[in-house]
Amino acid sequence: MEAKDEEDVSLGTNRFPERQPLGTAAQTEERDYKEPPLAPLFEVAELKSWSFYRAGIAEFVATFLFLYITILTVMGVVSSKSKCSTVGIQGIAWAFGGMIFALVYCTAGISGGHINPAVTFGLFLARKLSLTRALYYIVMQCLGAICGAGVVKGFKKSIYMANGGGANFVNPGYTKGDGLGAEIIGTFVLVYTVFSATDAKRSARDSHVPMLAPLPIGFAVFLVHLATIPITGTGINPARSLGAAIIYNGAHAWDDQWIFWVGPFIGAALAALYHQVVIRALPFKRKP
């Protein structure tokens, strides 16, 4: 009887062997997915396609809505005399993360749901989109951000200007180096999550991944905001920082503006390099 029990235990532990090899064992010739082809550097034919312009419009509208909701939330918190009567820092973080979750879900099938020049830059470095499309997206994202912040200012200019306009700058007690480091690491977390959530291999093997992709991306934005709002107000999105800086137009916001472009772009580049070279090992794979 004891021998039979041991046999049952043995069968139980081996009844469901690992069906998907892990690590380097997964680098085989047989694939159940196809790597998407690399995007050309310049794709002039895109300029004649309505889908190209539709995607840019989707990025504009998404970034507009993103700035409108998030900056309005920030104004509600900072203009209140008692933080207990507002959503607080956690609510601000939820507003940013929740909007990214909703907007990525809505626009992923149209433009890819970037809503962030740093994300666009990282995906461009990985050759996921052409330089033509990347520049177009970044311009539309910045325009959408400016319009979104402008609408918030239009509601109550005095409150908006008196409370910083949601602009990003390095807070007192921190150096510019601290702010730059926070932006680099925060953007790395976001862009690495984007790469992982939209990975071609995971999408092919796990049918639920495309549907759930906006969730980890939005959650990453939420967590980064919780960590870095005390340092820089959390940029990790050059369009968001630029839009608020232009509409607020405060000297201290412009003094630190370079941090919210250089930091996110460095973080995005590092995330693209890490995911493509280290995690996926794409440069080392043999061509089928």
Give the tens place of pLDDT for each residue, 113-147. Answer: 999 999 999 999 999 999 999 999 999 999 999 99
pLDDT at 33 over 80: no
- Two structure tokens written together for 51: 């889908």
pTM score, two decimals?
A: 0.84
Contact 162/79 with Cβ under 8 angstroms? Answer: yes
CA distances from 255 to 1, 133, 180, 237 (A): 78, 30, 13, 17
Helices 176-197 and 259-273: angle between axes, nearest 10 degrees = 40
What SS3 class is residue 124?
A: helix
pLDDT at 210 over 90: no
pLDDT at 15: 47
Question: What are the pLDDT digits (tens) for 6-24?
Answer: 544 444 444 444 444 444 3
Between 14-28, 46-60, 138-152, 162-176, the lowest mean confidence (pLDDT) is in: 14-28
- Two structure tokens written together for 83: 């933080």
pLDDT-derived band of residue 80, with 50, 70 and 90 as boundaries? confident
